[in-house]
Structure 1
Amino acid sequence: MSIVTTRRAALMGLGAAALARPALAQSGFPSRPIRVIIPWAPGGTTDVQMRALCDAASRRLGQPVIADNRPGAGGTLGPAALLNSQPDGYTVAQMPISVFRYPHMAPRPPFDPNQDFSYIIHLTGYLFGVAVRADAPWQSFGQFLDYAKANPGRINYGSPGVATSLHITMEQIATERGIDWTHVPFRGIAENLQSLLGDQTHALADSSGWGPLVEEGRLRLLVTWGPERAKRFPNVPTLKESGIDIVSTSPYGIAGPKGMDRGVVRALHDAFREALNDPQHTAILDRFDMPIIYLGPDEYAAFARQQLEDEGRMIRRMGLRL
């Protein structure tokens, strides 16, 4: 693209924004609080991050942005609630990657990700890892896998739910290594941690809410799942370093009901994009080793279409069903 074309596109974009602002001013959006559905239990990584984002966005929008927790069904209850919400911009939801898996696994898909949502902004992804109690006998992920393979059915692990990235990846590892272990789904990190600390499960696979307990020495982090080692845990190897060619970060964003006015989508996008880079929010991202993975509305919609195809291939290959 030439410099002239680039400048012309930029001017056209500015013109469109100028046209959108008066329309929004006339409609008075937002004139009341905005509800953001978080499809996970309070206290977990996503909940803490999304609440910080909501606080920062409320300062931009001039209205409260209220977090509404609706955990369950692998993170799909929140997005499913959008099906019965008005497309007026006052109800949106965090969109976990399980949204793109469930339609391939359910006999009657609850929604169509390509048709039922208005994509607003893509935000970030997780640091995932597998942790055990500090007094567990396994000093490395390799030792843990070797024990699980030598003792079929004896190991159980907790995750945030069926068809989440944690569950899918652990089952991919089991298939690759010929392991038979038991998956125990939980509604959130608090329940998962409680079960592990109470010696009811042998390990947990979850996002970095385990970090403080690892730093306190109560848990041992065996492996992380990112493309490179986590800044806070530089001595812990990645899956790839452990001989398993998988990178899993489960990126996510925010969407609303289908049929939202593009001006409202743009207003929400602009507020959340500024909030994404707010120092109080980026401090939370740093705390949980979460990268910024920004996409605008059109790019996010294209990403969603591709994600739905990719997840479908994986689900069919693994033969997963709800």
Structure 2
Amino acid sequence: MAAAAICAAAAPAATAAGDFPAKPIEFWIPFPPGGPTDGSLRTLLAAAGKELDQRVVPINKPGAGATLAAQVMSQTAAPNGYTLSMVAANIFRMPHLQKTPYDPLRDFTYIIGLTNYRYGLVVRADARWKTLEEFLAYARANPGKVTYGAVGIGSSGHISMEKLGRAAGAKFTFVPYKGGAEEMMALMGGDIDAVLDPGWGQFAVAGKVRPLAIVGDTRFARFKDVPTLKERGYDITASSLVGIVGPRGMDPAVVRKLHDAFFRAAQDPAYLRSLEAIDLEPVHLNSADYTRFAAEQFEREKRVVQQLDISLQ
């Protein structure tokens, strides 16, 4: 009788997982519409919808250094698989910079890791600086006069530029933006002098911006003439794993369905082309590996914030 009771109690959950998804899924994007990540994600969601035989609806929720979407989801969404969010490195760093309403190790279900942001430092094509050395020399001679943008306070771009300023003996003025499209328009419109972020490749190809340095271990395939910061003597790199999370407490069977659907969708040629267009490379972390990565990344970000001695309190 006890065994029968247990089976009966488990049956509704099993049935729910078997029927999932029975309605459209909301996917929260932590950036405004129109940016490079937004466009690439929409391509992925279209492919995932075909795999799941349900629409995966993109909903833009920018703010809080690109962590607002996941924050709100963790506080308001049911753990039924019908509300998901994209996250990147900021989600692990922000709790070390200020008090946050979420705990990244407790409040999310990690579903799949998809790709890595690759960063670069760019200026307008008509800027006075042709090289990184000229840019840094000017910044040293004019403390605070050079302005730069990145997506959100505490973002990887913000942290990397602060590292560069300290290493080079230069002081920059930071201007945060909510998304990549917004910051690139600000750069090309002359509102800021530089951007340190991913997603600028198409503007460089079009001759609108000039990359000065790649903030990574290797040069970009499309920009083989652009050196890395390491090559110029600054041991600074930035990367940010892009992944999908849901609220904590999700049914493992639903997590598996979502993982497998997004894994197959990530092989879609249109999505792969969208990554190539913004100089990103596909990666894959399954749910278990992504959960382990989250714990490790949380500790790495803690060390970085302590070394820089910064706070947003």
Contact 1:53–1:276 (Cα < 8 Å) also in 2: yes
2:96 is matched with which residue?
Answer: 104
Equivalent residues of 1:24, 1:263 under 8 A apart:
no
Which of residues 222, 238, 250 in structure 2 aligns to 1:248?
238
In structure 2, what is the equivalent of residue 296 of structure 1?
A: 286
Superposition deviation, residue 170 in structure 1: 0.3
Q: What's the CA shift for 1:299? A: 0.7
1:138 aligns with 2:123: no
1:261-305 deviation digits (Å, cap 9, x = unpaired): 000000000000001111111111111121112111111000000
Larger deviation: 126-135 or 71-80? 126-135
- Secondary structure (helix, strand or coil) at the match of 1:146 reads helix
Structure 1 residue 23, shift from structure 2 partner: 3.5
Paired residue type of 1:96:
A
Q: State the identity as a percent.
A: 43
Q: What's the TM-score, normalizing by structure 2?
A: 0.92
Equivalent of 1:55, from 21, 46, 65? Answer: 46
Of the three residues 156, 159, 167, the one matched with 1:165 is 156
Query: Aligned partners of 1:218, 1:24: CA distance in 2, in Å?
Result: 54
Map 1:121-132 → 2, pairs under 5 A: 121-132=112-123
TM-score (norm 1): 0.90
* Candidates 59, 65, 77, aligned match of 1:85: 77
Counterpart residue type for residue 211 of structure 1: G
Q: Please state how far the C-alpha of 1:43 moved relative to its aligned partner.
A: 1.6
Count residues with an aligned counterpart: 300
SS at match of 2:258: helix
Residue 65 of structure 1: CA displacement?
0.5
Cα distance, 1:255 vs structure 2:
0.5
Specify whether residues 309 and 26 from structure 1 end up closer, same or farther in structure 2 by C-alpha distance, changes over 3 A only.
closer
CA distance in 1 between counterparts of 2:218 and 2:18 reads 46
Q: CA deviation at 1:52?
A: 1.1
For 1:94, the equivalent position in structure 2 comes to: 86
44-53 vs 265-274, which moves further: 44-53
CA shift at 1:247, angstroms? Answer: 2.0
Whole-Å Cα distance in 2 between the matches of residues 182 and 23 of structure 1? 54
Q: RMSD of aligned C-alpha atoms?
A: 1.6
Q: CA deviation at 1:127?
A: 2.2
The whole-number CA distance in structure 2 between the counterparts of 1:27 and 1:126 is 34
Aligned residue number for residue 30 of structure 1: 21
Letter in 2 for 1:240: K
- Supply the distance in 1 between the matched residues of 2:89 and 2:27 (Cα, whole angstroms): 17
Choose which of 269, 289, 299 in structure 2 pairs with 1:279. Answer: 269
127-136 vs 52-61, which moves further: 127-136
Structure 1 position 27, deviation (Å): 4.3
What amino acid sits opposite 1:88 in the alignment?
N
Partner AA of 1:60 in structure 2: E
Provide the secondary structure at the position in 1 that maps to 2:133: helix
Deviations 1:221-267 (A, max 9, x none): 11122321111111111121122112212112001000000000000
Deviation at residue 129 of structure 1 after TM alignment: 1.1
Structure 2 residue runs without a partner (length 5+): 1-10
Cα distance between partner residues in 2 of 1:261 and 1:295: 19
Counterpart-to-counterpart distance in 2, 1:205 and 1:93: 24
Q: Is the 8 A contact 2:17 2:251 kept in 1?
A: no
Structure 2 Cα separation of the partners of residues 127 and 43 of structure 1 = 19
Instruction: Tell whether the 8 Å contact from 2:17 to 2:254 is kept in structure 1 after alignment.
Output: no
Matches within 5 A, 1:6-45: 23=14, 27-45=18-36
**Structure-2 separation of matches of 1:184 and 1:53:** 30
**Would the alpha carbon gap of residues 175 and 24 (structure 1) be closer, same or farther in structure 2, given more than 3 Å must change?**
farther
Kindly indicate whether the alpha-carbon contact (under 8 Å) linking 1:37 and 1:68 is maintained by their aligned counterparts in 2.
Answer: yes
2:260 alignment counterpart: 270
Q: Is the 8 A contact 1:161 1:187 kept in 2?
A: yes
**Which residue of structure 2 aligns with residue 151 of structure 1?**
142
